[in-house]
Chains A and B, each alone.
Chain A
Amino acid sequence: MLDKIGIAKRIAQELKDGFYVNLGIGIPTLVANYVPKGISIEFQSENGILGMGPFPFEGMEDPDLINAGKQTITALDGAVYFDSATSFAMIRGQHVQLTVLGAMEVSENGDIANWKIPGKMVKGMGGAMDLVASAENIIVAMMHTNKKGHSKLLKNCSLPLTGVACVKKIVTNLAVMEVIPDEGFKLIERAPGVTVQEIQAATEGCLLIDGEVPEMQFAPRV
């Protein structure tokens, strides 16, 4: 089974040279720490920066330089700042190649819910609805089950939706899955030490299993 860092490391393997990438808050943010050697990636944060760098050293933090999670950050050489309309032109216009975000629920047709629990939690959607409606390639990073142990991979989402039929791939602590429209979650890889039966038991939606399912590989960092 993977921890949050393991999920981030596995998603980092999906990054390709030359990608502009938007990372959501939580596990997705960690992906930036595991970019494979030898490829060039630029991170976009939708509040208005391309070329986002790591957190600043103490004393170097700038209140005018934050990411979409409101965290203090730095800007790499070649970075650029822009307004929110330009930022979402990059997103809506599909200039960003990959979006990684968290979710509370995903359904087997690729619907995602991550912004509201009626009567309990209302934080707002922020940029998530714009991102999921337009991104060509969306990976969801999340735990397979919620704190109560209930599956987050469902036939139908029970919470208010963020977007419909948009999620392409899901990486959880148990597995990597692809959403096959009108069919279900196709199991691609198992997390180390996790059996197909365990993944099946933790998945409420239709899990498609086709032959031997390989275990995830993590190349040693050089």
Chain B
Amino acid sequence: MIDKVVSSAHHALSGIKDGMTLMLGGFGICGIPENSIAELVKMKTNGLTCISNNAGVDDFGLGLLLKGKQIKKMISSYVGENEEFERQMLSGELEVDLIPQGSLAERCRAGGAGIPAFFTPAGFGTEVAEGKEARLFNGKPHILEHALHADFAIVKAWKGDAAGNLIYKATAKNFNPMMAMAGKITVAEVEELLPVGALDPNEIHTPGIFVQRIFQGEKYEKRIEQRTLRKT
């Protein structure tokens, strides 16, 4: 067994420097690596390019890095819940590359799987297709999308073991498995870190080969963005 355990977010993120490209898992603020984000705020690293489906909310998740002007560029699919994000984007302070959610997921997956590019129909005929090669397959137009890579991929899982094997919970899985594959260094933070042998190999979602460092998060706030309830 190759032991991937580090003692804290501080050690897990060592080596992240100004101007690097990071992937951060999560959908909205569900399944985000919140301990690592808190550490990035402390590190004051800036000029970051962040690949993440969303940009958090104003006072949680990646919104915290936006507030500190640590992010130079965001690569995302939806940024609707964050006023500071919208302000920085419309004023030109922040570069933003908006790409369709499925293309974002597949570009991360391709990056980790050694596939340099692929054709997808999503975005054909829209501004997303500008400057991209288009080609017909079976009579239907597709555009060429390139793989995404990151200096660090930072993911959040429910359970993990010392070998870096990961299990996610419910819809907190989202982008985490693909991003885990696509980092030069992948950091996994988990709610529960277990010794090897504790996880059933049949149930592991991300094989430890994709993970270089793993730690148990100090605490999880796990905020809810839209608390919707049934009355009766």
Complex Cα distance, B230 from A54, in Å, reads: 7
What separation, in Å, do the CA atoms of A119 and B101 have in the docked complex? 22
Given the contacts A72-B227, A87-B105, A82 and B125 also touching, CB distance less than 8 Å: no
Selecting from B10-18, B63-71, B167-175, B192-200, the interface stretch reads B167-175
Q: Which of A45, A81, A88, A160 contacts B102 (CB 8 A)?
A: A88
| Total contacts A-B at CB 8 Å | 173
Report if A84-B178 is in contact (Cβ < 8 Å); known contacts: A92-B120, A125-B78: yes
B37 contacts chain A at the CB level, 8 A cutoff: no
Q: Which residues of A contact B177 (CB under 8 A)?
A: 83, 85
- Report chain B residues within 8 Å CB of A69: 226
Q: How far is the CB of B14 from chain A (nearest CB, A)?
A: 28
**What CA separation (Å) do A66 and B122 show in the bound complex?**
24
B205 CB contacts on chain A under 8 angstroms: 83
Smallest Cβ distance from B57 to chain A, in angstroms?
10
For B122, what are the chain A residues with a Cβ–Cβ distance below 8 Å? 92, 129-130, 133-134
A27 to chain B, nearest CB (A): 16
Question: Are B106 and A88 closer than 8 Å at their CB atoms?
Answer: yes
CB atoms of B78 and A130 under 8 A apart: no
In the complex, are the beta carbons of B170 and A133 less than 8 A apart? no
Asked if residues A124 and B79 are in contact (CB atoms below 8 Å), the reply is yes
Which A residues lie within 8 Å of B77 (CB)?
124-127
Given contacts A64-B222, A84-B53, A124-B76, contact A70 B81 (CB under 8 A): yes
A63 within 8 A of B: yes
Across the interface, do A56 and B100 meet the contact criterion of CB distance under 8 Å?
no
Q: Is B203 an interface residue (CB 8 A)?
A: no
The contact size tier of chain B is: 35 or more
| Interchain CB contact under 8 A, B101 and A81 | no
- B226 in contact with A164 (CB, 8 Å): no
Write out the residue numbers on chain B whose beta carbons fall within 8 Å of the beta carbon of A65. Answer: 170-171
What is the predominant secondary structure among interface residues of chain A facing chain B? loop
Q: Is the CB of A127 within 8 A of B106?
A: no
For the complex, what is the distance from the CA of A45 to the CA of B28, rounded to whole Å?
14
B98 within 8 Å of A (CB atoms): yes
Q: How far is the CA of A127 from the CA of B53 in the complex (A)?
A: 10
Residue numbers in B under 8 Å from A134 (CB-CB): 121-122
Q: Check B27 for interface membership: any CB of A closer than 8 A.
A: yes
* Interface residues as binary, A148-187 with B (CB distance below 8 Å gives 1, 0 otherwise): 0000000000001111110000000000000000000000
A83 with B176: CB separation less than 8 A: yes
B178 near A66: Cβ-Cβ < 8 Å:
no
- The answer on a CB contact under 8 Å between A163 and B125 is yes
Instruction: Report if A129-B173 is in contact (Cβ < 8 Å); known contacts: A64-B222, A70-B81, A84-B178.
Output: no
| With A61-B229, A124-B98, A127-B102: A84-B174 Cβ-Cβ less than 8 Å | yes
- Could you list which residues of chain A lie within 8 angstroms of chain B, going by C-beta atoms? 45-49, 54-58, 61-73, 75, 81-85, 87-88, 91-92, 111, 119, 122-130, 133-134, 160-165
Q: Apart from A72-B226, A84-B27, A125-B100, what are 4 other A-B pairs with CB-CB below 8 Å?
A: A70-B30, A85-B178, A130-B100, A161-B127
